[in-house]
């Protein structure tokens, strides 16, 4: 199995730069390929902001490394041992990018896509070596949020899956293997289900955007940071556990399921959602909110580790 020393990043946007920070923190050589002008400066700024948090989590050494090589030449990845693909979530763009990568990297190099929704079978469709292509989907920002979903396509080789899983575990990521591909994979399907009802509640006038967000962050969101939905209801079942919960409170769940909505994102509804988030922001800018979120994520991760979650 190929030892990963040099990671190629195809696509240096928000996710690509976050991945690059994590890879550099773990002592890997990193090359970013992206046609955007000014990428080196962006990478330098991102790394400077990410490094103290990575160091605080014990993932990085005391001193930040040099900014990774940034180029628009895919040929720069010829010596890469692993490729993290982060191009735009359009199948035509990704297939073209994969074709360029396959013309460059060795046939046994895994190409792992960060796609949030596209199926690995679609990524493999025109590939010369489809067995080394899989989805490795993180949650934003991947240098802090440890989950990585590994999704094989019908042609993905088990050796590629194992290599990817070993690689991400070496980065102290929490890997999840899906048993089969599905649009949106796992985490995004769960968040989409919640978001659909969050939008529906606003559309039906049940509650405001602000109160929907407060309901999650001050209610179930606190528990979900520690236990998933199944384990949460197991604990909610008291001494009888999950079975007791399902037997006695399952019918109330089914009644709620019947009332869940399927809203359409009309222009009027989009205006209402945006107006609600603007009220919620109360003059706070996106950059400040992102920095606060990331700093809080670091502290939350340390709390989870201390308590064994």
Residue 28 domain-assigned (yes or no): yes
Report the side by side order of strands in the sheet with 6-10: 69-71, 29-33, 6-10, 82-85, 110-113, 133-138, 147-152, 174-177
Instruction: Say yes or no: 162 and 231 in one domain.
Output: no
Instruction: Say yes or no: 155 and 93 in one domain.
Output: yes
Residue 299 domain-assigned (yes or no): yes
pLDDT, tens digit (0-9, with 9 covering 90-100), for 142-193: 999 999 999 999 999 999 999 999 999 999 999 999 999 999 999 999 999 9
Instruction: Say yes or no: 281 and 198 in one domain.
Output: yes
* Separation of alpha carbons 42 and 67, rounded Å: 10
Residue 243's domain comprises 187-307
* φ and ψ of 142, to 5 deg: -65, -20
Instruction: Say yes or no: 14 and 60 in one domain.
Output: yes
Instruction: Say yes or no: 198 and 122 in one domain.
Output: no
Residue 182 domain-assigned (yes or no): no
Specify the pLDDT at position 86. 98
Contact between 112 and 136 (Cβ < 8 Å): yes
Residue ranges of the chain whose pLDDT lies below 70: none
Instruction: Say yes or no: 160 and 193 in one domain.
Output: no
How many folded domains does the chain comprise?
Answer: 2
Specify the pLDDT at position 4. 97
Instruction: Say yes or no: 143 and 168 in one domain.
Output: yes
Specify the pLDDT at position 64. 82
pLDDT, tens digit (0-9, with 9 covering 90-100), for 91-120: 999 999 999 999 999 999 999 999 999 999
Last residue of one domain, picked from the residues 148, 177, 206: 177
Q: What is the CATH number of the domain that holds 124?
A: 3.40.50.720
Last residue of one domain, picked from the residues 159, 177, 195: 177
Terminal Cα distance for the chain, rounded: 32
Residue 135 domain-assigned (yes or no): yes
> Sign of the C-alpha dihedral, residues 30, 34, 40, 46?
negative
Residue 150 domain-assigned (yes or no): yes
Specify the pLDDT at position 244. 97
Instruction: Say yes or no: 94 and 15 in one domain.
Output: yes
Q: What is the CATH number of the domain that holds 201?
A: 1.10.1040.10
Which residues is 71 bridged to in the sheet?
A: 33
Last residue of one domain, picked from the residues 156, 177, 198: 177
Burial of residue 161 (number of CB atoms within 10 Å: 0-12, 13-18, 19+): buried
- Strand, helix or coil at 111? strand
Residue 219 domain-assigned (yes or no): yes
Instruction: Say yes or no: 133 and 275 in one domain.
Output: no
Residue 16 domain-assigned (yes or no): yes
H or E segment to which residue 31 belongs: strand 29-33
Instruction: Say yes or no: 13 and 129 in one domain.
Output: yes
Q: Using alpha carbons, list the distances in angstroms from residue 54 to 2, 30, 225, 296.
A: 26, 16, 20, 13
Q: Which of 129, 36, 125, 38 is nearest to 86 (CA)?
A: 36
Specify the pLDDT at position 282. 86
Specify the pLDDT at position 83. 98
Residue 1 domain-assigned (yes or no): no
Instruction: Say yes or no: 140 and 259 in one domain.
Output: no
Instruction: Say yes or no: 86 and 106 in one domain.
Output: yes
């Amino acid at each position: 199995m190929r030892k990963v020393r040099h990671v190629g990043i195809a696509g240096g946007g928000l996710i690509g730069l976050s991945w690059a920070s994590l890879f550099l923190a773990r002592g890997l050589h990193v090359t970013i390929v992206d046609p955007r002008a000014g990428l080196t400066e962006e990478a330098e700024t991102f790394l400077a902001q990410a490094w103290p948090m990575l160091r605080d989590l014990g993932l990085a050494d005391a001193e930040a490394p040099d900014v990774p090589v940034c180029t628009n030449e895919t040929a720069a990845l010829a010596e890469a041992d692993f490729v993290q693909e982060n191009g735009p979530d359009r199948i035509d763009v990704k297939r073209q990018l994969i074709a360029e990568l396959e013309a460059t990297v060795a046939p046994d190099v895994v190409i792992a896509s960060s796609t949030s929704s596209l199926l690995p079978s679609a990524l493999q469709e025109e590939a010369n070596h489809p067995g080394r292509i899989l989805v490795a989907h993180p949650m934003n920002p991947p240098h802090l949020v440890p989950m990585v979903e590994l999704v094989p396509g019908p042609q993905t080789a088990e050796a590629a899956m194992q290599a990817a899983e070993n690689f991400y575990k070496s980065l102290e990521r929490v890997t999840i293997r899906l048993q089969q591909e599905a649009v949106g994979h796992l985490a995004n399907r769960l968040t989409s289900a919640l978001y659909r009802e969050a939008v529906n509640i606003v559309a039906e006038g049940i509650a405001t955007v602000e109160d929907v967000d407060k309901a999650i962050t001050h209610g179930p969101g606190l528990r979900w940071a520690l236990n998933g939905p199944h384990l949460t209801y197991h604990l909610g079942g008291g001494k009888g556990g999950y079975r007791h919960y399902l037997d006695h409170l399952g019918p109330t769940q089914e009644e709620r399921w019947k009332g869940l909505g399927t809203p359409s994102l009309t222009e009027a509804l989009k205006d209402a959602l945006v107006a609600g988030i603007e009220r919620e922001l109360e003059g706070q800018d996106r950059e400040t909110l992102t920095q606060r979120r990331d700093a809080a994520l670091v502290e939350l991760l340390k709390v989870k580790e201390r308590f064994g979650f």
